[in-house]
Amino acid sequence: MSKKVDIDWGNLGFSYIKTDYRYISTWKDGKWDEGKLVTDNKLTISEGSPALHYGQQCFEGLKAYRTKTGEIQLFRPDQNAKRMNESNKRLLMPEIPEEKFIDAVKQVVRANEAYVPPYGTGATLYIRPLMIGVGDSIGVSPAKEYLFCVFCMPVGPYFKGGMAPVNFIVSDYDRAAPHGTGAAKVGGNYAASLYPHELAAKSGFADCIYLDPATHTKIEEVGAANFFGITKDNVFVTPKSPSILPSITKYSLLYLAKEYLHMQVAERDVFINNLDEFKEAGACGTAAVITPIGGIFYNGALHVFHSETEVGPVTKKLYDTLYGIQFGDVEAPAGWIVKV
């Protein structure tokens, strides 16, 4: 692509930037239309749209990466498509064929190729697919029409000045209800987290740790990310619960820990009173890949893992391996990388 954009790639944050094209497709009368690229970044919907009143909406997040050779690639977009359809099913929204989802993402990346940051800057193209229930409706019932949209923007590396541990505080608030929508990527889960996050930030912490809503004894999520710990006998552990969002990054790390680092792995209960079993801990997700956890504040005391200032060696190795795969510097497992 010959177009050039005037962007300081080294100083990008994680904020909205309007790019040239986005994809939009409409579901009506029981089927999806073909979908198309548009230049307008404004959506016009009915005031009666169920997305506005009853929260019938979901979203995804993934990235496009530029490799050392200048190619552009996606990381496991099929998993985002599958997870979005799980969210759709939970909210009685129509599923999106996996091939349609991936094609829409590819179209948006190609159309905005000039905004894919250069290799070596640490920046990436963040892609946001979303679905909303629209149309003239006011009763508490599923919408009769839906919009599926995909837009993108360049974002900077999550860690300015390098990856460093941060501290978290255990929240008294619940992120999700038992048998609720915790495993779906729906906006209501994030709206409910804004207040607990603000309380944590005002207390000097990066975010809060959510415990299981039924017993408040087990770690579930770390802010909007998944938790993992490295035990003193070198086992990669992550919580198991039906209310946790199934993080694509987490399941990728589970695989890499076992197959690339030759560690034992376990998806199981992680009790807040048993933090001593871990020598390292972290949070993982699309935005940061891995956020090292220096310490967790609980019951009036800060439990420190490896260090409050230095990243643990296993966490660093996991980060380097996954980051290397995403940018094309480490050989990926079969099917993980999709060229644009």
Q: How many helices (H) and strands (E) does the chain have?
A: 6, 18
DSSP state of 34: -
Terminal-residue alpha carbon distance, the chain = 13
Name residue, tokens 């608030």: 173
Quote the CA–CA distance of 228 and 221 in Å, as a whole number.
Answer: 9
Q: Please tell me the number of Cα atoms within 13 Å of 75 on its side-chain side.
A: 29
Catalytic residue among 63, 106, 185, 250: 185
DSSP state of 212: P
Quote the CA–CA distance of 237 and 309 in Å, as a whole number.
Answer: 22
Task: Let me know if 185 is a catalytic residue.
Answer: yes
Quote the CA–CA distance of 282 and 268 in Å, as a whole number.
Answer: 16
Quote the CA–CA distance of 287 and 153 in Å, as a whole number.
Answer: 13
Q: Are 279 and 231 in contact (CB under 8 A)?
A: yes
CA 31 to chain centre: 28
Quote the CA–CA distance of 124 and 115 in Å, as a whole number.
Answer: 9
Provide the token pair at 72. Answer: 């552009």
Name residue, tokens 């309007």: 18
Q: Hey, is 189 helix, strand or coil?
A: helix
Q: Which residues pair with 66 in a beta bridge?
A: 72
Q: Angle, nearest 10°, between helix axes 248-259 and 313-326? A: 110
Q: Are 65 and 109 in contact (CB under 8 A)?
A: no
Nearest of 268, 267, 276, 158 to residue 223 by alpha carbon = 158
Q: Which residues pair with 196 in a beta bridge?
A: none
- Active centre residues (catalytic): 185
